[in-house]
Structure 1
Amino acid sequence: MATRNIVLTNHQSEVVDRLVESGRYQNASEVLRTGLRMVEEAESAYLSKMNELREAISHGERDVESGKTRQFTGDEFANYLADRAEHIVKKKTDA
């Protein structure tokens, strides 16, 4: 394994010490490796979500280009959203 020197704030150092003292982790390296795994998972989830959002944007742009759009006034849009929300809630309570 590669060795690295890192600088922690006092608070971060105290957190690592507490976790090791609790017995949940054997040493500081184990705590930091666990933290890095969590960062990797969060980054992976973030990238997946960003890709989903990009695809949704592309889908919306294709719909606009092909004329699959509707125009709403502000009130009509508010009513549309309220109706959709009511439909979703009803669907969940009926399930």
Structure 2
Amino acid sequence: MRESRNGFFFWRSANFYGALSSASGSEWHNLPICTVPKVAAMPTRNVVLTERQAHLVDSLVNSGRFQNASEVLRAGLRLIEREEVEMHEKLETLRDAAHAGIADADAGRLKSFSSSEALAEYLDAITEDVLTPASAAKRSQ
């Protein structure tokens, strides 16, 4: 026989319960059985690892940092996912810079240099102009 009290289920045998309750007058033998809500099963994959990768997974689990190999692989996938997002953001930034440069060139806002040395001198000068105020601001703080 199964009863539910406060979210717990109790199993009771009529014969066993009758014998014990007559001896002690209590329900001490009715052990609670907690029910766990059903969770959708996660998809599983079989993966082939090199010896080096298997050793790394084992050492991370043995160190206590992860409880099992699945946790190690999920952490690795999170890193790849983060790397993909960062790469996408960098690519978008480069595309925006390329569009801005093309727009400047189309509008006639460009500089021509007679040699690579002239270009290097120009870049050094603008680098110094940008870094000098930033260095002065750091020193004043």
TM-score, length of structure 1 as denominator length: 0.93
How many residue pairs match? The answer is: 95
1:35 matched to 2:76? yes
- Give the corresponding residue for 1:87: 129
User: Which residues of structure 2 form unaligned runs of 5+?
Assistant: 1-41
Q: Structure 1 vs Structure 2: percent identity of aligned residues?
A: 43
Structural mapping, 1:1-95, within 5 Å: 1-74=42-115, 75-95=117-137
Which has the larger displacement, 85-94 or 61-70?
85-94
**Misfit runs of 4+, over 6 Å:** none
Give the Cα–Cα distance (whole angstroms) in 1 for the partners of residues 102 and 83 of structure 2. 28
The structure carrying a bigger helix percent of its residues is 1
Give the Cα–Cα distance (whole angstroms) in 2 for the partners of residues 92 and 9 of structure 1. 49
Structure of greater Rg: 2
- Measured on the aligned residues, the alpha-carbon RMSD in Å equals 1.1
The residue type paired with residue 47 of structure 1 is H
Which has the larger displacement, 20-29 or 62-71?
62-71
TM-score, length of structure 2 as denominator length: 0.64
User: Which residues of structure 1 form unaligned runs of 5+?
Assistant: none
The structure carrying a bigger strand percent of its residues is 2
